[in-house]
Amino acid sequence: MSELKSIKTLIVIVGPTGIGKTDLGICLAKSLDTEIISADSRQFYKELRIGTAVPNETQLKSVKHHFIGNKSIDDYYNASSFEFEVIDLLDKLFIQKKNIIMLGGSGMYVDAVCKGIDYLPDIDMDIRNKLIKKFENEGIESLRFELQKYDPEYYKIADLKNPKRLLKALEISIMTGKPYSSFRTKENKTRNFSLLKIGLNIEREQLYYRIDQRVDKMIENGLLDEAKQFLNNKHLNALNTVGYKELFPYFEGEYNLDRAVELIKRNTRRYAKRQLSWFNRDKEIKWFNPSERENIFEFVKNNISNM
What is the structure's pLDDT at 5? 44
- Per-residue pLDDT at 118 exceeds 90: no
Give the model confidence (pLDDT) of 121-148 as tens digits: 677 778 888 899 999 999 999 999 999 9
- Per-residue pLDDT at 73 exceeds 80: yes
What is the structure's pLDDT at 4? 44
What is the structure's pLDDT at 80? 83
Q: In the CATH hierarchy, which top-level class contains the domain 125-183? A: mainly alpha
Note the pTM of the prediction, 2 decimals. Answer: 0.82
Cβ-based neighbours of 168, under 8 Å, separated by 6 or more: 180
- Per-residue pLDDT at 3 exceeds 60: no
> In angstroms, how far apart are the furthest CA atoms of the chain?
63
> Measured between alpha carbons, how far is 302 from 289 in angstroms, rounded to an integer?
18
What is the structure's pLDDT at 228? 97
What is the structure's pLDDT at 98? 95
- Per-residue pLDDT at 45 exceeds 60: yes
Element (H, E) at 199: strand 194-200
What is the structure's pLDDT at 16? 97
Going by pLDDT thresholds of 50, 70 and 90, the confidence category of residue 175 is confident
Cβ–Cβ < 8 Å for 169, 163: no
Going by pLDDT thresholds of 50, 70 and 90, the confidence category of residue 119 is low
- Return phi, psi of residue 12, to 5°: -105, 125
Residue 193, amino acid: F
Return the percentage of the chain with pLDDT > 90, whole number.
75
Domain ranges of the chain: 2-118+187-301, 125-183
Cβ–Cβ < 8 Å for 290, 24: yes
Give the model confidence (pLDDT) of 225-251 as tens digits: 999 999 999 988 899 899 999 999 999
Q: State the sign of the Cα–Cα–Cα–Cα dihedral 270, 196, 238, 22.
A: positive
The CATH homologous superfamily to which domain 2-118+187-301 belongs is P-loop containing nucleotide triphosphate hydrolases (3.40.50.300)
What is the structure's pLDDT at 125? 79
What is the structure's pLDDT at 59? 95
Average pLDDT over residues 57-83: 93
> Measured between alpha carbons, how far is 146 from 62 in angstroms, rounded to an integer?
49
What is the structure's pLDDT at 1? 38
Average pLDDT over residues 11-15: 98
- Per-residue pLDDT at 307 exceeds 60: no
- Per-residue pLDDT at 2 exceeds 50: no
Give the model confidence (pLDDT) of 177-229 as tens digits: 888 888 776 678 889 999 999 999 999 999 999 999 999 999 999 999 999 99
